[in-house]
């Protein structure tokens, strides 16, 4: 009943996205467990692939001894558009290939995933959407876009809206890549190694908390001989040979434009519209578990606290007390993995109370 060892592809045909049209859109996915069990959706983050090749994999939370037990749940993992497995600049035929690939939003991805679940897999309801980083942002989108289809969601090291601070950071690796001497405005004919190496180095700077470098140390018990060795092996090596440069940029744009306030608005509201943002979060029906890391430099816990305060008592905040920064949520170390597993399993096992939005609002205000 499981397709854990095989990546499957759902063909959408002609599919509209924010930047235009994909003439033959594909969504890549894998399934784990028995489809008669409650469904858990686990979408990819930045740098992740379903086949576990490259920087990050997508099965680090799946297993009988892990947070998501495939003997109890039917787990569906989804690849984001432009991750190289779903429709991407690198695998789409002309005239939409490479730099001509249209811009894609989280909203486009969730619509596509909903089609796979309802039309391809006959899923009637999602027990939980869980994600890390960009996967966490997708969890928020699921809860806002399909309020009667999603029972609960878990957002690990992510946010409902990409902050200006986060967007500013992303301009760094983007600039390093597009201004490299071998990027050729996206029309490269071989891997632009100078650009991808520069991208990886800039990207690495904020992946860990500052205290991690001071107290844990990049040498990692002799695994690396120097800081340069760490960056080259872990970050340059994580992207080289497995990630296409145009894919990296298109996916980065999806991250930068994340904002649940924009769902369904098609440009009718301004970016950062506070009234629409408050309305989107306060209207969520699903129960939420929001898990930022104390030392995350991409998605700081202060942003999560502000978002939870807008959710009318439907979400709880659990901060990961870790030195590992953003990477605490991505399967980087056993201590944080165990903490996350415990909190996620507790949340999944909990009986959901009948939601009383008015009572929740009163509680949040008190």
**Cβ atoms < 10 Å from Cβ of 335:** 12
CA angle 77, 257, 28 (to 5 degrees): 20
Give dist(CA 105, CA 253) in Å, integer. 8
Torsion of CA 339, 340, 342, 346, to 10 degrees: 140
- DSSP letter, residue 80: P
H-helix segments, 58-192 = 106-115, 134-145, 164-178
Write out the E strands in 166-238. none
Instruction: Give every CB contact of residue 17 below 8 A, 6+ residues apart in sequence.
Output: 25, 81, 102, 103, 104, 105, 108
Active site residues: 133, 296, 326
Query: Helix 193-204 and helix 245-256: axis angle, to 10°?
Result: 40
Q: Which residues pair with 128 in a beta bridge?
A: 40
100 burial class (0-12, 13-18, 19+ CB within 10 angstroms)? Answer: middle
C-alpha pair distances (Å), 328 with each of 209, 278, 299: 9, 28, 12
Residue 224 burial (C-beta neighbours within 10 Å; 0-12, 13-18, 19+): middle
């Amino acid at each position: 009943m499981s397709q854990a060892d095989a990546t499957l592809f759902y063909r959408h045909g002609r599919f509209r996205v924010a930047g235009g049209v994909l003439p033959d859109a594909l969504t890549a996915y894998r399934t784990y467990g028995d489809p008669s069990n409650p469904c858990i959706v686990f979408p990819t983050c930045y740098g992740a692939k379903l086949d576990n090749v490259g920087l990050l994999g997508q099965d680090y939370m799946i297993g009988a001894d892990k947070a998501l037990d495939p003997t109890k749940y039917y787990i569906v993992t989804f690849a984001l558009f432009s991750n190289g497995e779903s429709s991407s600049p690198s695998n789409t035929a002309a005239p939409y290939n490479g730099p001509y690939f249209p811009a894609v939003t989280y909203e486009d991805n969730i619509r596509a995933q909903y089609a796979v679940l309802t039309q391809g897999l006959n899923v009637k309801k999602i027990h939980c959407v869980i994600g890390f980083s960009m996967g966490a942002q997708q969890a928020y989108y699921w809860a806002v876009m399909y309020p009667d289809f999603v029972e609960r969601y878990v957002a690990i090291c992510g946010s409902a809206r990409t902050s200006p601070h986060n967007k500013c950071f992303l301009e760094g690796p983007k600039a390093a890549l597009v201004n490299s001497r071998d990027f050729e405005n996206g029309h490269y004919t071989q891997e632009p190694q100078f650009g991808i190496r520069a991208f990886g180095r800039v990207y690495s700077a904020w992946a860990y908390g500052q205290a991690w470098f001071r107290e844990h140390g990049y040498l990692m018990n002799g695994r690396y001989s120097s800081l340069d060795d760490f960056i080259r092996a872990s970050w340059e090596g994580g992207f080289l040979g497995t990630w296409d440069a145009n894919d990296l940029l298109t996916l980065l744009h999806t991250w930068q434009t994340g904002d649940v306030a924009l769902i369904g608005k098609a440009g009718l509201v301004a970016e950062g519209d506070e009234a629409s943002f408050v309305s989107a979060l306060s209207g969520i029906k699903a129960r939420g578990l929001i898990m930022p890391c104390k030392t995350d430099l991409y998605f700081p816990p202060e942003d999560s606290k502000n978002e939870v305060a807008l959710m009318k008592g439907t979400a709880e905040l659990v901060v990961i007390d870790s030195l590992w920064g953003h990477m605490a949520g991505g399967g980087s170390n056993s201590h944080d993995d165990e903490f996350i597993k415990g909190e996620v399993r507790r949340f999944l096992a909990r009986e959901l109370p009948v939601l009383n939005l008015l009572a929740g609002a009163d509680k949040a205000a008190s």
